[in-house]
Amino acid sequence: MNSAKGSSFFPFGKEQLLPAEEMLEVGRKRKQLSIGVLSGKGKDETRIPLTPQAVELLVKNDHEVIIESKAGDHSSYSDMDYANAGAGIIRDKKVVLQCDIVLSVAPLDHAEIDALKGNQTIISSMQLKTQCEEALKKMMKKKVLALAFEYMKDEHRQFPVINSMCEIAGSTSMMMASEYMSNAHGGKGVLLGGVTGISPAEVVIIGSGVAAEYAVRTAIGLGAMVKVFDSSIHNLRVLNEKIGTSIFTSVFHPHVLQKALKSADVVLGALTFPSCPKFIVPEEYVKEMKEGAVIIDLCISHGGCFETSVPTTLKRPTFRKHGIVHCCVPNIPARVARTASISLSNIFAPILLDMGECGGLERYMKSSKGFRNGVYIYNGILTSLDLGEKFNLPHQDIELLMAAF
């Protein structure tokens, strides 16, 4: 019928009747990562950031992993273990330093920075107290992206590496204290835990964070009497709840702390970095402690919490001052290298996998604010307020830079 030309039979316009392209979501393009893992040899470091199991997982997801030869020796992982997992084993450190992503537990030294090709990603510790201005400027000149893993946060706004290493350090520190009190290490010959008819050793812990919690658990398990001091009554209450048993707790009342230190056999500095306010135990308090008592300062990387603290090494972990044994090793978890390496690997492997899945570092950074929190150099620009103030260098907010690039 001619009336078919009427609007009642053709409710759509001509353009609407033409076939349209189907709109499909464009998937993210996976990116193959080139990852180099450095040895801590010569840096008083025994940990390695990736285990063979993590390497195997990365390789199966089409990523390339190169390991510096003998990097896993101290963690009881051989070159063969890594080779069997699919990693390339390289003796020449300079080759490892050409990878797009370089992983190292210890900060890079001057020679390693000089060997970088530039425009790479460096993931390592920063160690603010020992950071060198010259090394920092060299890295900026190389236009690298440098991330300090101790500042990195997770989706729960926690510091995963710090918390993980604090768990290990807290437990390990009590075992070390027990060693240093024994005759075998020149101590007084006192058992940390009590036995029938003999009073238990007294342990004073300064701080109530993760390291303190695990130190308390270990000390109680060994039978010691524990006292904990912190600036926050809330944190002390939370610690008591976590431990599940009542222990002596106090805020920092000078006379109460001084009295506790006088009778203590072991004193542990375990303030939580970077959220806890800095607290220094004055030298006069240390002088009044018992001859042969043990101080272990877990805060030495960030300045220490005893006026008498001086950094020591894994090879020479202790010194005596005023008759008190001081242990101020910055990387105490490295004493149990295999446990610490597995713990680090559990953090880094998922991050690297996610980085590859979302299309590379730039995409991952934009989607992960916690990861960005650890970045202290971005494309050669300093983004760390702490380093900027320490060396009087100009710095930019990482969030503003991310918006600009």
Average pLDDT, the chain: 89
Between the CA of residue 307 and those of 248, 269, 280, 324, what are the distances in Å? Answer: 24, 11, 6, 13
Between the CA of residue 194 and those of 191, 200, 225, 267, 376, what are the distances in Å? Answer: 7, 4, 9, 17, 47
pLDDT of residue 7: 42
Q: Is the pLDDT of residue 302 over 90?
A: no
Spell 328-352 as b/e; 16+ CB within 10 A means b: bbbbbbbbbbbbbbbbbbebbbebb
Give the H or E element holding residue 37. Answer: strand 34-37
Q: Is the pLDDT of residue 12 over 90?
A: no
Q: Is the pLDDT of residue 2 over 50?
A: no
3-class DSSP string for 306-362? ECCCCCCCCCCCEEEECCEEEECCCCHHHHHHHHHHHHHHHHHHHHHHHHHHCCCHH
Select from 33, 165, 154, 56 the least CA-distant residue to 103.
33
Amino acid identity, position 318:
T
Give per-residue pLDDT as tens, 182-226: 988 888 888 888 788 888 999 999 999 999 999 999 999 999 999
Q: Is the pLDDT of residue 308 over 70?
A: yes
Main-chain phi, psi angles of 341, to 5 degrees:
-65, -40
pLDDT of residue 9: 42
Q: Is the pLDDT of residue 97 over 90?
A: yes
- Distant-in-sequence, close-in-space partners of 210: CB < 8 Å, separation ≥ 6: 162, 163, 166, 167, 170, 272
Give per-residue pLDDT as tens, 52-96: 999 999 999 999 999 999 999 999 999 999 999 999 999 999 999
Q: Is the pLDDT of residue 400 over 50?
A: yes
- Distant-in-sequence, close-in-space partners of 327: CB < 8 Å, separation ≥ 6: 176, 180, 294, 295, 296, 297, 312, 317, 318
Give per-residue pLDDT as tens, 264-278: 999 999 987 655 556
pLDDT of residue 19: 53
Between the CA of residue 309 and those of 5, 120, 219, 280, 288, what are the distances in Å? Answer: 95, 36, 22, 10, 16
Give the three-class secondary structure for 145.
Answer: strand
pLDDT of residue 24: 44
- The answer to whether 18 touches 312, Cβ cutoff 8 Å, is no
Q: Which domains does the chain have, with CATH numbers?
A: 34-158+337-404 (3.40.50.720), 162-330 (3.40.50.720)
DSSP state of 87: P
Integer Cα distance of 309 and 319 in angstroms: 10
C-alpha angle 352/354/360, rounded to 5°? 75
pLDDT of residue 276: 57
